[in-house]
Amino acid sequence: MSAKTADRIATGVIISVAVFIVALLASLLGFILVRGIGHISFDFLTSAPQTIKAGGGIGPQLFNSLFLLVLTLMITVPLGIGAGIYMSEYAKPGRLTDFIRLIVEVLSSFPSIVVGLFGLLVIVNLFGLGFSLFSGALALTVFNLPLMVRITEQAIRGVPREQKEASLALGLSRWKTITSVMMPIALPTIVTGTVLASGRVFGEAAALLFTAGMTSPRLDFTNWNPFSPTSPLNPFRPAETLAVHIWKINSEGLAPDAAQIAAGASAVLVIVVLLFNFTARWFGRFLYKKLTASK
Amino acid sequence: MQDKQRVVKPHLAEEWVGKIYTLLCIFFLIVTIFSMVYFVASKGIGTFLLPNVNVLDFLTGLKWAPEGSPPAFGALPFIVGSFTTSILAALIAAPLGICAAIFMTEIMPGAGRRYLQPVIELLAGIPSVVYGFIGLSVLVPFLRDVFPGQGIGIAAGSIVLSIMILPTITTIAADALAGLPNSLKEGSYALGATRWQTIYRIILPTTLPALLTGVVLGISRAFGEALAVQMVIGNAPHIPKSLFESTSTLTSVITLSMGNTVSGSPHNSALWSLAFILMAMTFVFVFIVRWLERRSKV
């Protein structure tokens, strides 16, 4: 076989692999949306699930997922940005910094089920928070924090050196330089990364099985007192999220329409994740234009 | 115009606020990971202090009957299950991922960035329970019809995992290929080599450690993935004779049983030991990755 034929065959194989991957994603999304969208209705999205009867919805689960995401971001974002700034601006090169970097790497590769078990042991039992939204948010923080640190660190490092040096030369403190000069430039990247990470948090289930719990109490959506046990806003109630719900009805669902509910809920989950992906791109570009002088 | 003295002081205070705030954040991170290792390890090692359980029997025993009398704690089926599914998944995903990376960097960079890159990112974004659900409703029935057996098992698990780790392998491979100095490729083309010759004689050998980094990270992710695998693997606690027979992994048995056991019981501690094995493997994977990264810098 001549070198040119081999080249053509190899090129053909590589292109067909690329086409195969695109087709794979198209068929996965197609399957989920075609199977699930027929089942999505206003009623499905807002009503409570049924254990043994058909016609249950995913209302509380959808609400729990969104609420949990908000709680998680409220804890993760300040911590992650702070730690990321430390890693990129304050950490001096040396043993200690290398060690911290190793720790972040290890933490980011821990399986999410191990994070969930840690949550069960420490947050749920030791701190006595029980199966609750707040425990779930803390477990997701552990799961999401290394990613936030890496996103922030890279974004801050991406700021042109001249801008930072000009600000320092004008006599601004390092912290002022970071908050007023570097953050506006880095923010679009941080926001894009955070929104993408939110998609990951939204679909996470393994870390939540033993922290946020697998049940959801009857919620009274007219009760907005965050201290009442039936209020949806109470962060100390158990909360089954959408992803956990999909897992549960697939493994132990008793309702006759469990397969359709799983399909509908999966479609909702995938649509939300897609929305996160598209808004991340669009919002990042929008912020960049808004905060910097570039067109 | 402000007085000089009054400008300097807030300036210093501001700097301290920033320093202390970021230090606290990083301190929280360090405390978290240390307590995580400490708590899981102390719980996991607890099992081996029980009478009639020792480390060797635990790691090599074939029988898992934690509620039986006498109880048997042989975790080998789960260890074998975890390793075979994740390594098979990497064997499927690695060639696909590396081809995709070559496509994005060498063959059609334009189309790669515009179409393949977002596709890979979306694949990474699909939640694992959704992969499990698709596996259960499409892949398992398909395997049941085509091959002998019930469809559930290592084959189904590793195919589902291979799609989930494809983005990891592709992204890292693409970064490695894009970072290769152009002069290497130009030298090869100048000698009259074809594109394929350049790819497999120059590009792939030079970037091999980085490509392997991606594969190891993929295996590590597959090893720790819980729910998608648990949904399609069948969950029988023994070593299967074929790829299409029900079996278990470390993660699947933890997922299924942890909620049904009482804290402190032997069954519960045995599950913590499995979690400890999972965590120890994470460290092993991180060190392999670090070793490969050092190789790729040379």
For every residue of A227-257, DSSP letters joined together read: TSTT-TT-TTS----HHHHHHHHHHH--STT
**Residue A97 reports pLDDT greater than 50:** yes
- Contacts of residue A107 in chain B, CB cutoff 8 Å? 29, 32-33, 36
Segment of A52-66, A67-81, B37-51 carrying the highest mean pLDDT:
A67-81
Amino acid found at B65: A
| Residue whose structure tokens are 């075979």 | B84
Residue A46, CA distances (Å) to A43, A55, A125, A219, A267 in order = 5, 12, 32, 12, 15
Tell me how far apart the alpha carbons of residues B248 and B82 are, in angstroms, rounded to a whole number: 8
Give the pTM: 0.88
Q: Residue B109, CB half-sphere, CA atoms under 13 Å: how many?
A: 6
Tell me how far apart the alpha carbons of residues A11 and A33 are, in angstroms, rounded to a whole number: 33
Residues in chain A: 295
Nearest chain B Cα distance for residue A225, angstroms: 31
List the end-to-end C-alpha distance of chain A, in Å, as a whole number: 53
Model-level ipTM above the cut of 0.90: no
Q: What is the pLDDT of residue A169?
A: 92
Q: Residue A160, CB half-sphere, CA atoms under 13 Å: how many?
A: 5
**Dihedral sign, Cα of residue B261, residue B268, residue B41, residue B240:** negative
> Taking Cα atoms as reference points, which of B228, B132, B229, B152 lies closest to residue A263?
B132
Question: Mind listing the pLDDT tens digit for each residue in B241-270?
Answer: 888 888 888 898 888 888 788 777 888 888
Segment of B13-22, B51-60, B289-298 carrying the highest mean pLDDT:
B13-22
Across the range B76-88, mean pLDDT stands at 91
Question: Mind listing the pLDDT tens digit for each residue in A155-208?
Answer: 999 898 898 999 989 988 888 899 888 988 888 889 888 888 888 888 888 888
Of residues A18, A121, A174, nearest to B103 (C-beta): A18
Nearest chain A Cα distance for residue B255, angstroms: 8
Determine whether the interchain pair A105/B130 forms a contact, defined as Cβ–Cβ distance below 8 Å: no
- Contacts of residue B115 in chain A, CB cutoff 8 Å? 22
User: Could you say which residues from 165 to 204 on chain A have a Cβ atom under 8 Å away from some Cβ of chain B?
Assistant: 171-176, 178-179, 196, 199-200, 202-204
Tell me how far apart the alpha carbons of residues B160 and B229 are, in angstroms, rounded to a whole number: 7
Amino acid found at B112: G
| Percent of chain A predicted with pLDDT > 90 | 19
Tell me how far apart the alpha carbons of residues A92 and A48 are, in angstroms, rounded to a whole number: 53
Among the listed ranges A281-290, B178-187, B215-224, which one has the minimum average pLDDT value?
Answer: A281-290
Of residues A9, A118, A270, nearest to B126 (C-beta): A270
Q: What is the pLDDT of residue B212?
A: 93
- Contacts of residue B45 in chain A, CB cutoff 8 Å? none
Across the range A220-233, mean pLDDT stands at 72
Tell me how far apart the alpha carbons of residues A120 and A112 are, in angstroms, rounded to a whole number: 12
Question: Mind listing the pLDDT tens digit for each residue in B150-203?
Answer: 888 888 999 999 999 999 999 999 999 988 888 988 999 999 888 999 998 989
Q: pLDDT confidence of A52, banded at 50, 70, 90?
A: low
Tell me the count of A-B CB pairs closer than 8 A: 261
Beta strands B72-73 and B64-65 are antiparallel
Tell me how far apart the alpha carbons of residues B162 and B85 are, in angstroms, rounded to a whole number: 9
| Contact (Cβ atoms closer than 8 angstroms) between residue A153 and residue A189 | no
Q: What are phi and psi of B64, to 5 degrees?
A: -115, 100
Nearest chain B Cα distance for residue A28, angstroms: 8
